[in-house]
């Protein structure tokens, strides 16, 4: 490049053609625009709120809410604060998300695998299931399970029962509760120890196999530890548990654990809907593994069940896991539909009732959004770590 051109390029007139200058200019413009945008909405919001007598700030979190909530995992009453309402709602959201994710995964994998059944009817059903449930709006499905299916269960006095221990009626599912006495915490502790031991055993067995080629019956031993250790402590401590059975008293069942129908309906709807998407993902995952892999595995003499667990599943998981990640996140987001049937999740009690009472839309909507955002980021983080563990390790 001649000096002349170089001089021209650096002259002020063509400064705008310099990519770095332009980049700074664009970003400054954006910064200015965003700054102005936020400034104007904040000042508008402050003006409007003052004119309309809406309070601002988070003081309301420390005032008494005055209403009751159908289902609470922590002690709560009408005299509790809005802050407590938030916690109750958050825990209920987390509960329905975890239970929903569990059942959706089980259902999704079952239906997805059913697609590869050699029974024509099962295969067809798998397809019909997927196409039906993923093409109908979830809100309708929530209504269906709640108002059509669960509402048609018998009344409390005519409950369906399993050995007079478990009861199912229109008010919910009643299960016996395990009440721990003195020393029960040691039994719980032993379960934790057993799980830790299994994790350690697995690592050791893998290392031994890598080093010596000898296999160790990990599955059987694990099962032994998981059942044996807690059982032994249970008897040493003299069985410090009693059952609390549900009983019909007055209007309703008392005692035991109650699973309210709102929770059941929402869980079923979420699992069935998300299950259809997960089934699609599983199908795509299994189909992505070339048939040659199975043939190659057979040719080196692997048994059929080992082919599935050692060859097909690990490869299919690479396709399935990223899809699961987004399905889990949408399940959590969709759990807000609880508000349509009155399951007291975060959305219902906070954006619903609390917002109605306090009118502090900005604080409440933002707090709620932040919570869902954090939950989803957590899921994403965990699934990405899981994904890294199943990802293809390429030769360097």
Partner 1 sequence: MRVFKPQEAQPAPEETMGVAAWIRANLFSNVPNSIATIVILGLLASVLPGLIDWLFIQANWSGNTQADCTNDNGACWVFVSAWMQQFLYGSYPTEELWRVNTGLVALILVIAAPYALPKHLRNTVGVPLFLAYPFICAALLDGRLFGLEFVSTDYWGGFSLNIFLAAASIIIAFPLSFLWALGRRSDMPFIRSVCVVLIEFFRGVPVLALFFMGSVMLPLFFPEGTNVDKLLRVWIVLILFMSGYMAEVFRGGFQAIPQGQYEAADSLGLSYWQKTLLIIFPQVIKVSMPNILATFIMLFKNTTFLLIIGIFELLSTTQTALTNSNWLGGHAPEGYIFVAVVFWVCCFGMSMISANIEKKLDTSHRN
Partner 2 sequence: MLKFSSLVAAGLAVGLSFGANAGTLEDVKKRGMLSCGVSTGLAGFSQKDEKGEWSGLDVDVCKAVAAAVLGDASKVQYKPLTAKERFTALQSGEIDILSRNTTWTHTRDTSLGLNFAGVNYYDGQGFMVSKKLGVKSALELDGAAACIQAGTTTELNLADYFRANGMKYTAVTFDTSDQTRAGFESGRCDVLTSDQSQLYAIRIGLKDPDSAMVLPEVISKEPLGPVVRQGDDEWFNIAKWSLVAMIEAEFLGVDSANAADMKDNGKPAQKRLLGTEGDAGEKLGLSADWAYNIVSQVGNYGESFERNVGMGSPLKIARGINEQWNKGGFLYSPPIR
Give CA angle at 359 (357, 365), nearest 5°: 110
372 binds, among partner 2, partner 1, none (CB under 5 to 8 A by kind): partner 1
Q: Kindly calculate the radius of gyration of the chain based on its CA atoms and give it in whole angstroms.
A: 29
Provide the β-strand partners of residue 249: 252
> Does residue 294 contact residue 264 with C-beta atoms inside 8 Å?
no
163 or 250: CB nearest partner 2: 250
> Does residue 174 contact residue 246 with C-beta atoms inside 8 Å?
yes
Stretch that binds partner 2, among 128-136, 221-229, 273-281, 346-354 (CB under 8 A): 346-354
Find the binding residues for partner 1 in span 292-311 (CB under 8 A). none
Find the binding residues for partner 2 in span 12-51 (CB under 8 A). 48, 51
Indicate which single residue of 230, 261, 275, 285 sits in contact with partner 2 (rule: CB under 8 A): 261
Q: In angstroms, what is the minimal distance from the CB of 95 to partner 1?
A: 17
Q: How many Å apart are CA 392 and CA 315, to the nearest integer?
A: 8
Distances (CA, A) of 342 to 143, 162, 251, 274, 385: 11, 28, 21, 21, 35
Find the binding residues for partner 1 in span 2-21 (CB under 8 A). none
137 binds, among partner 1, partner 2, none (CB under 5 to 8 A by kind): partner 1
| Structure-block tokens of residue 388 | 């890294």
Region of residue 71 (phi > 0: left; psi between -120 and 50: alpha; otherwise: beta)? beta
Q: With binding defined as CB under 8 A, does residue 27 bind partner 1? A: yes
Site string for partner 2, 232-251 (x = CB under 8 A): -----------------xxx
> Does residue 268 contact residue 125 with C-beta atoms inside 8 Å?
no
Stretch that binds partner 2, among 20-28, 110-118, 307-315, 353-361 (CB under 8 A): 353-361
Q: How many Å apart are CA 270 and CA 93, to the nearest integer?
A: 12
Q: With binding defined as CB under 8 A, does residue 26 bind partner 1? A: yes
140 or 191: CB nearest partner 1: 140
Q: With binding defined as CB under 8 A, does residue 336 bind partner 1? A: yes
First to last CA, the chain: 40
Binding site for partner 2 (CB under 8 A): 48, 51-53, 66-70, 78, 147, 150-153, 155-156, 169-171, 249-252, 261-262, 339-342, 344, 348, 352-353, 355-357, 359, 361
């Amino acid at each position: 490049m001649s000096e002349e051109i170089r001089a021209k390029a650096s002259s002020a007139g063509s400064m705008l053609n310099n990519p770095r200058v332009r980049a700074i200019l664009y970003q400054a413009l954006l910064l200015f625009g965003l700054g102005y945008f936020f400034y104007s909405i904040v000042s508008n919001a402050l003006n409007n709120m003052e004119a309309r007598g809406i309070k601002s700030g988070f003081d309301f979190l420390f005032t008494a809410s005055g209403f009751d909530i159908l289902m609470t995992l922590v002690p709560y009453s009408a005299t509790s604060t809005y802050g407590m309402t938030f916690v109750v709602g958050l825990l209920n959201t987390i509960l329905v998300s975890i239970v929903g994710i569990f059942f959706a995964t089980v259902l999704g994998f079952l239906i997805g695998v059913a697609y590869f059944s050699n029974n024509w009817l099962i295969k067809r059903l798998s397809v019909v299931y997927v196409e039906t449930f993923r093409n109908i709006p979830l809100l309708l499905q929530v209504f269906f399970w709640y108002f059509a299916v669960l509402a048609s269960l018998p009344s409390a006095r005519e409950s369906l029962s399993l050995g007079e221990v478990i009861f199912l009626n229109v008010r919910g599912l009643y299960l016996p509760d395990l009440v721990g006495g003195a020393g029960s915490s040691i039994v719980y502790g032993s379960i934790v120890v057993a799980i830790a031991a299994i994790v350690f055993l697995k690592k050791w067995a893998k290392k031994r196999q890598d080093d010596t080629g000898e296999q160790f019956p990990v599955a059987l031993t694990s099962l032994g530890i998981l059942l044996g250790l807690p059982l032994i402590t249970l008897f040493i401590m003299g069985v410090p548990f009693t059952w609390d059975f549900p009983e019909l008293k007055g209007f309703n069942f008392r005692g035991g654990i109650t699973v309210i129908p709102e929770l059941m309906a929402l869980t079923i709807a979420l699992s069935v809907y998300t299950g259809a998407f997960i089934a699609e993902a599983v199908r795509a995952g299994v189909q992505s593994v070339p048939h040659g892999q199975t043939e190659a595995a057979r040719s080196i003499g692997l048994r059929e069940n080992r082919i599935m667990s050692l060859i097909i599943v690990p490869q299919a998981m690479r396709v399935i896991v990223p899809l699961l990640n987004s399905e889990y996140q949408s399940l959590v987001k969709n759990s807000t539909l609880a508000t349509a049937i009155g399951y007291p999740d975060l959305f219902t009690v906070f954006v619903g009732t609390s917002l109605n009472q306090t009118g502090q839309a900005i604080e409440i909507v933002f707090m709620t959004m932040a919570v869902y955002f954090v939950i989803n980021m957590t899921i994403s983080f965990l699934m990405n770590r899981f994904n890294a563990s199943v990802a293809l390790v390429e030769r360097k």
